[in-house]
Amino acid sequence: MLATAEEVGRRAARVVLEELEAGRLAALGVATGSSPARVYEELAAAGARWEGVEVFALDEYVGLPPGHPESYAAVVDRQVRAPLGLDPRRVHVPDGGAADLDAAGAAYERALAERGGVDVQLLGIGATGHIGFNEPGSSFTSRTRVVELADRTVADNARFFDRPEDVPRRALTQGVATIGTARRHVLLAQGAAKAGAVRAALEGEVSTDCPASALRTFDDVLVLLDPAAASLL
Ligand code: GLP
């Protein structure tokens, strides 16, 4: 646990920068949502050299109009690609607009595998215990695929959209097993709304009822919490 939400972001950024400086960051896995926003600000402020680093997003909504500002492709472009000055060809987001979503999932798995998987995966956690968009019930052997979002997730993400009915109900997400292939994992959670999910993930049963509990089966996991997110531990 760290003293503040800001400290959580700074600490996560330090992990990424240490890997980069050591020449061990060929691919960075990025999460969207509010949890990692501070990390990206810190990474941009560090003035590091990102040439050659590939970036892979966890997930993308299905059914948004192309170029929608809340599509994860647009969010990653705004929060990660532009501030870090990355070549757009090195930034990968699942194609939630593909006509054949199964093929798009398989293509994303291939792109990840071709680059040897990601070195550091940043993760947030949903109030449902989701990682990426793997909602409760997601198999620990799941790979990139189309999923239905939980009602709670749709409600939580409505804050990013003009009208609640605009929130997509499906997504294309890396599976739990896909996320598990990362060499290092850094989960960030801030705020009391995450406290229940954090407790279920870290102290509950390791079970598909809480997809984030799969972290306890992954290699090299760092969990960074502010006091509110850690308050039920
Ligand atoms: C979103 C994303 C996740 C994210 C989580 C938490 O819906 N699909 O990748 O980690 O939910 O979001 P936030 O950080 O805004 O609370």
The complex's ipTM works out to 0.93
Q: Ligand 1 centroid vs 126 CA: distance in angstroms?
A: 5
Mean pLDDT of the chain: 97
Residue reference for tokens 């990968």: 92
| Other Cβ atoms within 10 Å of 22 Cβ, number | 8
Predicted confidence band of residue 35 (pLDDT cuts 50, 70, 90) = very high
- Which one is the CATH code of 5-225: 3.40.50.720, 3.20.20.70, 3.40.50.20, 3.40.50.1360? 3.40.50.1360
Ligand 1 interacting residues, C-beta cut-off 6 A: 31-35, 58-59, 124, 126, 132-133, 153, 157
Token duo for residue 68: 């929608």
Q: Which residues contact 221 (CB under 8 A, 6 or more apart)?
A: 184, 185, 186, 187, 215
| pLDDT tens, position by position, 181-225 | 999 999 999 999 999 999 999 999 999 999 999 999 999 999 999
Kindly write down the DSSP assignment for every residue of 172-222, as one continuous string: EE--HHHHHTSSEEEEEE-SGGGHHHHHHHHHS-SSTTSGGGGGGGSSSEE
Say if residues 158 and 167 touch (Cβ distance below 8 Å): yes
> Nearest 5°: phi and psi at 131?
-120, 140
- Look at residue 65 in the predicted model and tell me its pLDDT: 92
pTM of structure? 0.97
Three-state DSSP class for residue 122: strand
Domain ranges of the chain: 5-225
Q: Ligand 1 centroid vs 133 CA: distance in angstroms?
A: 8
| pLDDT tens, position by position, 51-82 | 999 999 999 999 999 899 999 999 999 999 99
